[in-house]
A and B are shown apart, each in its own frame.
Chain A
């Protein structure tokens, strides 16, 4: 298995609070991604990174920010959580852009009450 660790695995938080999810990889892959998965929608890209300090928005980036200060860590922040951000969040890594498969972390189940 690819060395990807997400933390926390589960989190319950209240509307309006900030939340940070962490993704840590030991594969030294350049590309890292944050997806959310909701019933009926499949996996949707929130943000991705193509190198340290290099990030870009995905399809559903509103309300989320990311940071990548080291190759191995990619942080996803919800500045002020809303109930619509209740979801399962997956981090993924890939060796190249578009031509190599994504390897996923085990996911973080976030509930915003």
Chain B
């Protein structure tokens, strides 16, 4: 199988930094996507990593290590509106192409 693992739930405080980890199987791996999904809404695209290293986009950054099968999403200066589920998805070069993790539900507390 192509299991994607990420923590189920995380809690952080407004203004803090939080890191959401994701591990995936490396065979046939093409790239790693992060999506944000607010309750009752559709997932929206946050970031894409295909090469090793850090991609920064405002308050959000995403890191990839292809050799370790590991990625993380870093959220800085947390705001209440960041309370959402964060989905890690790996793209593969065969089969069903995108495999989603179960999502990490982040709660930002005042």
Contacts and interface: CB of A to CB of B under 8 A. Distances in A.
A40 B8 CA distance: 9
Contacts of B97: 45, 48, 97-98
Contact of B92 (A42, A43, A98, A106): A98
B96 A104 contact: no
B64 to A, nearest CB: 14
Contacts of B35: 102
A105 B96 contact: no
B102 A98 contact: no
A17 to B, nearest CB: 25
A45 B98 contact: yes
Secondary structure at the B interface, as helix, strand, loop or mixed, is strand
Interface in B61-109: 87, 89, 91-93, 96-98, 100-103
A62 to B, nearest CB: 14
A92 B44 CA distance: 11
A103 B45 contact: yes
A101 B55 CA distance: 15
Interface residues of A, number: 22
Contacts of A48: 96-97
A35 B97 CA distance: 13
Interface string A33-57: 1010000111111001000000000
Given A42-B101, A98-B31, A99-B31, A58 B96 contact: yes
B96 A45 contact: yes
Contact of A40 (B45, B87, B98, B102): B102
A33 B45 CA distance: 15
Among B30, B42, B93, max chain A CB count under 10 A is at: B42
A65 B89 CA distance: 24
A98 B35 CA distance: 15
Nearest to B34: A101
Contacts of A106: 41-42
A-B pairs, top 7 by smallest CB distance, nearest first, are: A101-B45, A104-B42, A43-B100, A98-B91, A42-B102, A42-B100, A45-B96
